[in-house]
């Protein structure tokens, strides 16, 4: 395998904490370090890296896919469709479902960064929140 300079910089960009960047954001930031880089180089590098499992690709409701470096704690997100708030959730409950599906369907899971959409507590209507509160007790 060849060590592409663009790949290295992309990985560095994505290593900034909590980075979930779109292709455009990556391209723009890359230009400050490699002013003459061509957009297609970036798109192709991202495609290659995603296929190699170095980065994950997710739709987080930002209008374009976001890329994240693979390697830290495995995690997933809940994204509010009203206000855009992003919550991070731990892997365990998701992992249990995945293991179940793997056995059930003889399927080897690759997805490792799950995004689920909904409404955060702030954006739920007061009656909904009330209902949830009372049913808890």
Partner DNA sequence: ATTATAAACGCAAATATTTGAAAATGCAAG
Partner DNA sequence: CTTGCATTTTCAAATATTTGCGTTTATAAT
Residues in contact with a copy of itself by the rule CB under 8 A: 59, 65, 78, 80-81, 87, 89, 93-94, 96-98, 100-111, 114, 116-121, 124, 128-129, 132, 136
Candidates 37-45, 77-85, 93-101, 129-137 — which segment interacts with DNA by CB under 7 A? 37-45
Residue nearer to a copy of itself on the CB measure, 2 or 136: 136
Pick out residues in 62-101 that bind Zn ion (CB under 5 A).
80, 82-83, 85
CA 51 to chain centre: 15
How does 85-113 read in b/e, with b if 16+ C-beta sit within 10 Å? ebeeeeeeebeeeeeeeeeeeeeeeeebb
Q: Hey, what are 24's tokens?
A: 């455009």
- d(Cα 17, Cα 13) in Å, to the nearest integer? 9
Q: Hey, what are 40's tokens?
A: 């297609």
Q: Which of Zn ion, DNA, a copy of itself, none binds 1 (CB below 5-8 Å, type-dependent)?
A: DNA
Residues near DNA, by CB under 7 A: 1-7, 22-24, 27, 34, 36-41, 43-45, 47-48, 63-64
């Amino acid at each position: 395998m060849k060590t592409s300079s663009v790949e290295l910089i992309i990985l560095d960009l994505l290593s900034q904490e909590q980075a979930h960047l779109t292709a455009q954001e990556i391209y723009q930031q890359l230009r400050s370090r490699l002013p003459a880089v061509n957009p297609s180089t970036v798109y192709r590098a991202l495609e290659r890296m995603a296929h190699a499992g170095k980065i994950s690709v997710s739709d987080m409701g930002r209008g374009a896919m976001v890329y994240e470096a693979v390697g830290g704690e495995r995690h997933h997100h809940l994204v509010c469709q009203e206000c855009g708030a992003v919550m991070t959730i731990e892997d365990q409950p998701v992992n249990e479902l995945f293991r179940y599906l793997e056995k059930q369907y003889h399927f080897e899971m690759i997805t490792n960064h799950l995004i689920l959409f909904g409404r955060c507590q702030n954006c739920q209507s007061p009656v909904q929140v009330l209902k949830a509160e009372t049913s808890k007790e």
